[in-house]
Every structure is written in C-alpha cells, then in structure tokens.
Amino acid sequence: MANTATLKVQKWGNSLAVRIPSSLARKAGFEAGQAVEISTQDSGLLVTPKGGRHLTLGQRLALFDPDQHGGEAMVVTPIGKEIL
C-alpha cells in the first residue's frame, strides 16, 4: 500500500475538501463517521483521529473476559415470573 498520494483540493459548499483514498484511510485507522482533529503545521495540515475506534462484534467478543463476568456474556437473574 502507498504511504503517500497526490490529491486535489476541491470546493465543497463554502469549504474545501480532500478525499482520502481508502488504502491510506485503512493504514491511518480512519473510518467513515469518525471524529478527527485538524491542526495547522509549518508544512501544512495534520489530521489526527479522535476518540476510540468502533469495534466490530468479532473484535468485541475477542476482548470478552469470561473470568471477569463469571463465564457468561450476560448474567440472567429472574426478576419476575420467568420460568427458567
């Protein structure tokens, strides 16, 4: 995958925009809808991801610790007239 790309700044409403190629976005860890912080630098702009990444269900399940939760993903305690 490429580490750089030459892109064109384009008008988007009253603002300017640059589309980030998917290969660069994946490498930087960017996702659609993710918050970013943009700051000016001597050499241009720096775009930094903000907040945590959105994890897929598979990634969340991989982080699950059964010891911490008594071996169950969800502890079920009857609170009404449920028949278990």
Convert the pLDDT of each residue in 6-30 to its tens digit: 999 999 999 999 999 998 988 888 8
d(CA 80, CA 82): 6
| pTM reported for the whole predicted model | 0.53
Q: Is the dihedral of CA 27, 30, 31, 32 positive or negative?
A: negative
pLDDT of residue 41: 93
